[in-house]
């Protein structure tokens, strides 16, 4: 039985323990990576484990859910962050314009896309060309994002994410769901990931940072600990154990976000 002082220390200890049986001890032959498995209870725990395995170049395969940065909760949160940095990001705009639901249906989106196509501009800039109830709802969404952008100006990365989660309505939305207690752990873990990123990259706890962008267009350089290309444990619909198994395929290191 090993009790670590922090989750990071626990993950690092786990990686070191994996290496011994693979290498073998003395005259004992090593074991195959495919014979090693990691079980964990909470979905949010996977991020720290993923980071430790990736940074140690330990290849692995995931069974039972979605990788941390592919979970819907994380994608929604990251889309809001991208809109804070770049309001003309149409992909992020479409993902969260009606999430949480705010009365903007498919027909309203079609009208907005037609207006943007005619004007040759982004969806954000075409909102003023829409009319009626759809136009009012779209304008309210744009005002919400613009207000968040002003409120988060000059804040640290951790503070930016905390404000975004509250003001966007994501926290209240997940709290109202039946399995919300489980799902809300993921965006909360994103806050911890931001804190870890700032600390590990040497910016310091009080450093001011811009929201991360999937195309790498922000002021910050993405570390392996905070990007979505690392193999990750997948989300299950309940709290059953999830399994990560090492594989023979080397983990790829990537410094930029890519669209999934």
pLDDT per position as a tens digit, 92-132: 999 999 999 999 999 999 999 999 999 999 999 999 999 89
CATH number of 70-226: 1.10.486.10
Are residues 37 and 245 in contact, defined by beta-carbon separation less than 8 angstroms?
yes
CA nearest neighbour of 165 among 145, 188, 149, 181: 188
CA nearest neighbour of 243 among 102, 3, 40: 40
Q: pTM for the full model?
A: 0.67
> From CA 227, how far away is CA 247, in angstroms rounded?
20
Question: 8-26, pLDDT tens digit by residue?
Answer: 888 888 888 887 776 555 5
Residues of the chain with CATH 1.10.486.10: 70-226
pLDDT in tens, the chain (260 residues): 888 888 888 888 888 888 777 655 555 666 777 888 888 877 778 888 888 888 888 887 777 777 788 889 999 999 999 999 999 999 999 999 999 999 999 999 999 999 999 999 999 999 999 989 989 999 999 999 999 999 999 998 889 999 999 999 999 999 898 877 778 888 988 988 888 777 766 554 454 444 443 333 333 333 333 343 333 333 333 434 444 444 444 333 333 333 33
CA nearest neighbour of 188 among 72, 74, 50: 74
CA nearest neighbour of 255 among 231, 230, 235, 238: 230
């Amino acid at each position: 039985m090993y009790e670590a002082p922090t989750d990071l220390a626990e993950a690092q200890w786990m990686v070191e323990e994996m290496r011994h049986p693979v290498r073998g001890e003395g005259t004992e032959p090593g074991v195959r990576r495919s014979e090693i498995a990691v079980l964990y209870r909470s979905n949010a725990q996977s991020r720290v484990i993923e980071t430790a395995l990736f940074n140690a170049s330990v290849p692995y395969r995931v069974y039972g859910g979605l990788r941390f940065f592919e979970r819907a909760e994380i994608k929604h949160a990251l889309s809001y962050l991208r809109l804070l940095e770049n309001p003309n990001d149409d992909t992020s705009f479409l993902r969260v314009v009606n999430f949480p639901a705010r009365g903007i249906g498919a027909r309203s989106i079609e009208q907005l896309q037609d207006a943007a196509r005619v004007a040759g501009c982004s969806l954000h800039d075409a909102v003023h060309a829409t009319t009626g109830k759809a136009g009012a709802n779209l304008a309210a969404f744009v005002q919400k994002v613009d207000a968040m952008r002003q409120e988060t100006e000059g804040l640290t990365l951790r503070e930016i994410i905390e404000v975004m989660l509250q003001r966007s309505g994501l926290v209240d939305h997940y709290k109202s769901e039946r399995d919300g207690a489980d799902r809300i752990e993921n965006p909360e873990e994103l806050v911890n990931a931001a804190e870890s990123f700032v600390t590990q990259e040497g910016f310091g706890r009080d450093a001011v940072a811009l929201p991360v962008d999937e195309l790498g267009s922000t002021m910050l350089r993405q570390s392996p600990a905070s990007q979505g290309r690392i193999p990750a444990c997948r989300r299950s619909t309940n709290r059953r154990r999830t399994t990560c198994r090492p594989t023979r395929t080397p983990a790829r290191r990537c410094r930029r976000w890519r669209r999934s």
